Structure 1
């Protein structure tokens, strides 16, 4: 009886703490509290694990080996000893393109396990089995493996050596989109059961970019399989985002002084001029001038590209933009449209990170070299011929309306459209996840040039609307001012969101502001060269749950998070 009473008291306290964050109190009280994971030790030796896993269905274990403590390290901290398991699932030869396919994977199993499983969703177009460590968000600070999770990483069903050509095979498309997660998850849990004598008590999935997309898709499709979801810069509308990036490239091409180099349309000096103009209008809106635009919403009305950036009266010299440049660039930020002016992807906010080092790749090269292959081969129905495909020519000559039709099309061979297999079905209906007590944390750089933070904001606003105006009792969204795609930019981009996610899922501790730091000189996790010289090398800021904004309290060092509050 005493144990029951204490449990009831803990639930009541958790409910009251949730009520303090706003929302539907009755709904919050009904959300179940999941129990905490308990650890275990690896059963037997790592070497013997291969034979014990031989009966896994549709799976070939290729190797097992013990990795000594300190072989891997994160942010200067060594990772403990663990067992590395590699393998393949569903090996086959395609009847469409004749190529060999399999879902390659690796799992890292700590000798001293914390009872948790982490699915590491990878970025780009997948295709490579990267080291299964499981990130915690932003610049490297900690990861799941370091914290004692069992972690899996995969190539999502195809070899990176193929490039986008795997899109010719319809099953490879589906594995990349969502089915690899569905196939790997039960297999991984079986491996854990065999390795430790029990399955995972709690399961988590996370990643950034395409990994964030995988996580968003899993929220909708595999809500029963995971207890915590950590999505960074989630390109959950990836086909549309890629077409929007090509839309931008076509506009840059119209004002590029060198047709072979789109960066001449908007040079580094010109981007710095725009960044400085944004800061002049928006930096102080959060109560202090510190090189960061915290109040993103206020900046939308405070800054105008047309009025606040000088218009060149003569030759371009970096201190101004020509009228033609402004005409070409403005639609990229206001949001890509069809030929009839209908918006099909989100706007991008103006932010100080517009001058960051990642912009040239994502805005001037990716549309020609990456997005073109995705739009033309991986997602289009029917796909473009691989042998004669030319990415830059395809992108710069692309009919945007036809491209949108292509990613929504199906035929007898490709029976599921890209917008079906790449995106989460009903993304704002996370009722299944919510009802079972699972939790979601999402972060996104305000200066992300490829996946718009406004797209994620629109999703979260929809999620709030679907939950009586407040989804904060099970899902939280954090914008990172200045941060580019997943990390970098003039930002405090080093933070750990995995630890607060676990505390929320397993202990009911609702996350508030997450402390982020700059990666200046001497940072153990790797220096971010874009940290402004005027900042302290270890500047900190709270990342606030949207719609809250980090505002200066009026006194104290502007280098310290403690002097800012989420309001």
Structure 2
């Protein structure tokens, strides 16, 4: 009798479930969207969620008609989820933030939405400007920003997708750069089951170290009276000298260094007496430049980080560490240190110039474990079949390029060697490429999502990525949609080979065509 009752209850449950599914499938996308805020969905227990609203958004350009969902994971992780009303490709896409985040605006959804993805974003647990860090004095906000928000947003996003389409996404992908790159690495390291494929660009692998490096570079160019030592004209003179000496090392003079590590430029070649500093660099200016290239050190000369800014990146110092066009340089790193990095030992009035490179780095251990994306043990991510594409611009003025390269080399040793690592993780070091934005002198417009899809879904590992340099009148601050829109003006194309490969001009053929280049080994 108990068994008969059990079978009867099971049959009723199945009939009810199939009826609900049939009803859901009969509804239009607009009807399902309207019903979403009050729907009884199976949500993950570790992510208590409230749907704030679900509204229809008309199709525009390459973007399909959408159900745009806003919600919050308790206590304060806001998210925005875009669900195509028709043509869903049965995949899920999540993108990361930049800076200190503070908004769930969908910066990078245009391309995935045009391909039929459901796309989600999060504010990482607080609201505010992307360079404001005062919220970090709240412990819950700190935890959410550091690691929790990205994970719970992925869980909730996939649950909402399943509820809306009555089907689980077949594949899930993540893209992020800068802070988003750190989110990407944290996902691969701490939550390896969340995504099948991950794209990590210019990641802040070490949050406190990266902030210290920014402070170092800013302070290196200030005298005791807080006046800048190296000026805009000096930076332009320096950059021209670097290119004169090292630009052609890849077989072509094109305004970018294929691998800055192969350049042995010494800024002392520009040194002359201080009285003639308007034609060259003074001894004090040479010392500043050397500090910027070298990166943070303590008073005994001990390195505190993985190097400094790369040769060839000099023009990107302007506006960040050197005043340009009448605009003062910014206080990069200081706000983070004031409210989070050193918050346990300094007050809200602390100034960047008070940072002590002998004592203060020892305090980072109190907060860095929250943020760290530097665990090289990626065995769980690899074992579940995950694929990871990393990219880093050599001209990045905010994230030291050698930091990601050093991490990749550490992963290689940890995972058992180059081939064992290349099976699931490939790094692309990009000449002439800045920090995340597509406004460098290199071929920085690259369809990473297409490459990741081919790797995850077809087993086609990316040996080379073809990049385009897009001619534009203003910097591109958001992700470029691929395929490139009709009428896009392309200056040149370049191949980018997976590390340790470097592109070298063959010596013949159109220098603006990627086909005129071949792979050459990089400096180990």
TM superposition score normalised by structure 1: 0.78
* 1:47 alignment counterpart: 34
Match of 1:554 among 504, 507, 510: 507
* 1:151 alignment counterpart: 119
* Residues 1:273 and 2:237 aligned together: yes
* Residues 1:244 and 2:213 aligned together: yes
* Contact residue 275 and residue 354 of structure 1 kept, 8 A: yes
Deviation (angstroms), 1:82: 1.6
Deviation (angstroms), 1:381: 4.7
Deviation (angstroms), 1:310: 4.1
* 2:79 alignment counterpart: 105
* Residues 1:288 and 2:252 aligned together: yes
The change in CA–CA distance for 1:340 and 1:313 in structure 2 (over 3 A counts) is: closer
Whole-angstrom CA distance in 1 between matches of 2:166 and 2:514: 44
Give structure 2 stretches of 5+ with no counterpart.
Answer: 1-27, 480-488
Deviation (angstroms), 1:151: 1.2
Q: Aligned-residue CA RMSD in angstroms?
A: 2.6
* 2:516 alignment counterpart: 563
Match of 1:326 among 286, 300, 316: 286
* 2:338 alignment counterpart: 376
* 2:187 alignment counterpart: 218
* 1:201 alignment counterpart: 170
Match of 1:304 among 252, 266, 269: 266
In the TM superposition, what are the counterparts of 1:419-498 in structure 2 within 5 Å? 419-424=368-373, 427-470=375-418, 471-487=421-437, 488-498=439-449
* Residues 1:315 and 2:276 aligned together: yes
Whole-angstrom CA distance in 1 between matches of 2:342 and 2:187: 23
Whole-angstrom CA distance in 1 between matches of 2:371 and 2:306: 17
The change in CA–CA distance for 1:173 and 1:50 in structure 2 (over 3 A counts) is: same
Whole-angstrom CA distance in 1 between matches of 2:476 and 2:89: 24
* Residues 1:338 and 2:298 aligned together: yes
Whole-angstrom CA distance in 2 between matches of 1:468 and 1:55: 41
**Structure possessing the higher relative contact order (Cα contacts under 8 Å, 6 or more residues apart):** 1
* Contact residue 217 and residue 295 of structure 2 kept, 8 A: no
| Aligned length in residues | 473
* 2:73 alignment counterpart: 89
Could you list the per-position Cα deviations for residues 120-178 of structure 1 after superposition, in whole angstroms to 9, with x for gaps in the alignment?
110101111112534xxxxxxx6222222111111111121693221111111111110
Deviation (angstroms), 1:520: 0.8
Whole-angstrom CA distance in 2 between matches of 1:62 and 1:273: 55
The change in CA–CA distance for 1:113 and 1:503 in structure 2 (over 3 A counts) is: same
The change in CA–CA distance for 1:550 and 1:248 in structure 2 (over 3 A counts) is: same
Whole-angstrom CA distance in 2 between matches of 1:311 and 1:110: 63
Deviation (angstroms), 1:242: 0.8
* Contact residue 167 and residue 383 of structure 1 kept, 8 A: no
* Contact residue 108 and residue 132 of structure 1 kept, 8 A: no
The change in CA–CA distance for 1:502 and 1:311 in structure 2 (over 3 A counts) is: farther
* Residues 1:507 and 2:507 aligned together: no
* Contact residue 251 and residue 504 of structure 2 kept, 8 A: yes
Could you list the per-position Cα deviations for residues 430-481 of structure 1 after superposition, in whole angstroms to 9, with x for gaps in the alignment?
1111112111111111011111110111111111222333121211111111
Give structure 1 stretches of 5+ with no counterpart.
Answer: 1-40, 92-101, 135-141, 410-417, 529-535
Deviation (angstroms), 1:332: 2.1
Deviation (angstroms), 1:266: 2.3
In the TM superposition, what are the counterparts of 1:116-131 in structure 2 within 5 Å? 116-131=91-106
* 1:133 alignment counterpart: 108
SS in 1 for 2:276: coil
* 2:494 alignment counterpart: 541
The change in CA–CA distance for 1:378 and 1:143 in structure 2 (over 3 A counts) is: farther
Deviation (angstroms), 1:363: 6.2
The change in CA–CA distance for 1:297 and 1:385 in structure 2 (over 3 A counts) is: closer
Whole-angstrom CA distance in 1 between matches of 2:153 and 2:210: 27
The change in CA–CA distance for 1:232 and 1:53 in structure 2 (over 3 A counts) is: farther
Deviation (angstroms), 1:314: 2.3
Whole-angstrom CA distance in 1 between matches of 2:165 and 2:321: 43
The change in CA–CA distance for 1:310 and 1:490 in structure 2 (over 3 A counts) is: farther
